Chain A
């Protein structure tokens, strides 16, 4: 009997998981399908699911109308750049908090995280003015800086969790062996934390890639990444659902492929430290 209950439970859990997964995936699937419809079919009611005239017209139009390659390159530079810069700042910070914690370390960590709870729009005007002042508007440098700052709390938190798992005695052994702080971080800590650093890197590239608020508000043409590329198709000029979908598909495809191949690291990264 126990076996039957287990099986039924398993079935329900599986069904539930698939339902949730499909619910989450459906908008992406719909976008993907719509990108192959004509504009008329895209807004047809009732909508057709699979049986419509498949066309690549939207993709060629999008290619003609905008410079995908430039947006793509901007996205790569901004997401990878902000993540690397973030790591450079976060590794020493996380080291300090994990291995030489003070009385207020926990508070500092919480305070860092609390900045993520601030609605970004609340600081849009000051940041916009600062960017204007320093000539950072619509520059990739500016975007790298702002996205690094936005994601820094997450990078620090993730690295902190990884570093916490590394026994302090190993670092003390390195110190006894004559390693300077720099040697300790380069030869001992970083190689040991490579899996953690890799998943932090990955997650932050994805977050930065998908970030839309700052990229839309602080870029115009030169530094506009793929988010701006998508947004340019949701315009008041008219209904361009099919083209918008084609642009979206092109924008999210690279990061989805990256995410697909690195799911293991991502899951490990996000659950690391939860189970010993």
Chain B
């Protein structure tokens, strides 16, 4: 079991309210990602769930029981920190065993669990090393190991991959997803990286200034963003927005069109523009095109054979145009 329900919770630091009243339900076994720009309150929200910060008001229910005032260790949750937060003076074995030692488990049971966790996480050869002797990825696995052995009802991850290099991040992303599949335990994952959110989540919670902008499955957010903020935040490169006359043609205040939904041609199209930056990746081409309606980012599949200074024409796919009103809300 590992369902978490937040009822009208708020958090203030002094006079500053960082989380306005917020409701959220995380179902058992779900992989939920909190995503948003830095300072949006996503880490604070995770720390409130963990019990590392006290809520200013509201109620936190874990597995149906009120955990609002419970101490962190009593909530049955395990957390993996951005900095890994390993105990530097203890060996990997002792790091992983620490929560069980605190729970006063029998030494034989501890040994067995440490051995198992080390096997699952490929750490067997490093059990007697200190964290300082390990690479970033290995440290991250130790941190995960320390979380697994507690058999928590939910895992909390606070930007666990942001200290790793790009290649390792892709690997660890897959490992964490695998782990979720194996354990089928609830995972709550905080990141500012929408790629991590899109690739790992069952459900994404987009946060902005402490408010939930939208909750939904990754593709739901991609296809039907509730407002301009979500539209701009989810998807990479970000959505292009056009206001004024072009938007008026669609009966709205602004339209949004994703870079991959713009057709590019050197002969004809709706919008004419000049290529600024061109990034040729082989598999894709990213172009920044200066048009009369502002700068647009275009993503074309494969190599399109245009470069800096070329004149091109862009045509949005009419099916894929997102319309927003003056308040930035989606118009269906």
Q: Who on chain A is nearest to B77 by CB?
A: A176
A177 engages B150 (CB within 8 Å): yes
Q: Which B residues are in CB contact (< 8 Å) with A129?
A: none
* Cβ of B161 under 8 Å from chain A: no
Given A167-B83, A167-B85, A177-B150, A172–B52 Cβ distance below 8 Å? yes
* Cβ of A174 under 8 Å from chain B: yes
Q: Who on chain A is nearest to B101 by CB?
A: A187
B99 engages A177 (CB within 8 Å): yes
B85 engages A170 (CB within 8 Å): yes
Question: What does the 1/0 interface line of B132-172 toward A look like (CB < 8 Å)?
Answer: 00000000000000100010000000000000000000000
* Cβ of B197 under 8 Å from chain A: no
Q: Which B residues are in CB contact (< 8 Å) with A188?
A: 87
Q: Which B residues are in CB contact (< 8 Å) with A169?
A: 81-83, 85
How many residues of chain A are within 8 Å of chain B by beta carbon?
Answer: 18
**A118-149 with Cβ < 8 A to chain B:** none
Q: Which A residues are in CB contact (< 8 Å) with B98?
A: 174, 177, 179, 187
Q: Which A residues are in CB contact (< 8 Å) with B78?
A: 176
Q: Which B residues are in CB contact (< 8 Å) with A187?
A: 98
The 5 A-B pairs with the shortest beta carbon distances in the complex, nearest first, are: A178-B73, A173-B85, A178-B102, A177-B99, A169-B85
B54–chain A nearest beta-carbon distance, Å: 12
A105–chain B nearest beta-carbon distance, Å: 15
* Cβ of A47 under 8 Å from chain B: no
Q: Which A residues are in CB contact (< 8 Å) with B89?
A: 191-192, 194
**B17-45 with Cβ < 8 A to chain A:** none
Q: Who on chain A is nearest to B147 by CB?
A: A176
Q: Who on chain A is nearest to B78 by CB?
A: A176
A205 to B50, CA, bound (A): 42
Question: What does the 1/0 interface line of A152-190 toward B look like (CB < 8 Å)?
Answer: 000000000000000101101111111110010001100
B148–chain A nearest beta-carbon distance, Å: 12
A174 to B102, CA, bound (A): 9
* Cβ of B328 under 8 Å from chain A: no
A177 to B288, CA, bound (A): 49
Question: What does the 1/0 interface line of B237-250 toward A look like (CB < 8 Å)?
Answer: 00000000000000
* Cβ of B109 under 8 Å from chain A: no
A179 engages B85 (CB within 8 Å): no
B313–chain A nearest beta-carbon distance, Å: 52
Q: Which A residues are in CB contact (< 8 Å) with B52?
A: 172, 175-176
Which of A167, A170, A176 is close to B73, meaning CB atoms less than 8 Å apart? A176
Q: Which B residues are in CB contact (< 8 Å) with A194?
A: 89
* Cβ of B79 under 8 Å from chain A: yes
Q: Which B residues are in CB contact (< 8 Å) with A170?
A: 85-88
Chain B interface secondary structure, helix, strand, loop or mixed?
loop
How many residues of chain B are within 8 Å of chain A by beta carbon?
Answer: 22
* Cβ of B183 under 8 Å from chain A: no
Question: What does the 1/0 interface line of B76-109 toward A look like (CB < 8 Å)?
Answer: 0111011101111100000000110011000000
Q: Who on chain B is nearest to A175 by CB?
A: B72
A192 engages B88 (CB within 8 Å): yes
Q: Who on chain B is nearest to A173 by CB?
A: B85
B292–chain A nearest beta-carbon distance, Å: 50
Q: Which B residues are in CB contact (< 8 Å) with A178?
A: 73, 99, 102-103, 150
Given A177-B99, A183-B102, A172–B85 Cβ distance below 8 Å? yes
A176 engages B102 (CB within 8 Å): no
A177 engages B73 (CB within 8 Å): yes
A175 engages B85 (CB within 8 Å): no
B151–chain A nearest beta-carbon distance, Å: 13
Q: Which A residues are in CB contact (< 8 Å) with B86?
A: 170, 173
A187 to B79, CA, bound (A): 19
Q: Who on chain B is nearest to A172 by CB?
A: B52
Q: Who on chain A is nearest to B14 by CB?
A: A103
A147 to B72, CA, bound (A): 40
Question: What does the 1/0 interface line of B49-63 toward A look like (CB < 8 Å)?
Answer: 010100000000000
A174 to B72, CA, bound (A): 10
B88 engages A173 (CB within 8 Å): no
A173 engages B102 (CB within 8 Å): no
A183 to B99, CA, bound (A): 11
Q: Which A residues are in CB contact (< 8 Å) with B72?
A: 172, 175-176
A191 to B130, CA, bound (A): 14
Q: Which A residues are in CB contact (< 8 Å) with B50?
A: 176
A180 to B150, CA, bound (A): 16
User: Which residue among A170, A177, A180, A192 has the maximum number of chain B CB atoms within 10 Å of its CB?
Assistant: A177
Given A177-B102, A177-B146, A178-B103, A172–B88 Cβ distance below 8 Å? no
A–B pairs, 14, beta carbons within 8 Å: A167-B83, A169-B83, A170-B87, A170-B88, A172-B52, A172-B79, A172-B81, A173-B79, A173-B81, A176-B72, A177-B102, A179-B73, A191-B89, A192-B87
- In addition to A173-B81, A176-B50, A176-B73, 4 A-B residue pairs with Cβ atoms within 8 Å of each other are A167-B85, A169-B85, A170-B85, A191-B89
A221–chain B nearest beta-carbon distance, Å: 46
A260 to B103, CA, bound (A): 45
Q: Who on chain A is nearest to B50 by CB?
A: A176
Q: Who on chain B is nearest to A103 by CB?
A: B14
Given A188-B87, A191-B89, A192-B88, A176–B103 Cβ distance below 8 Å? no
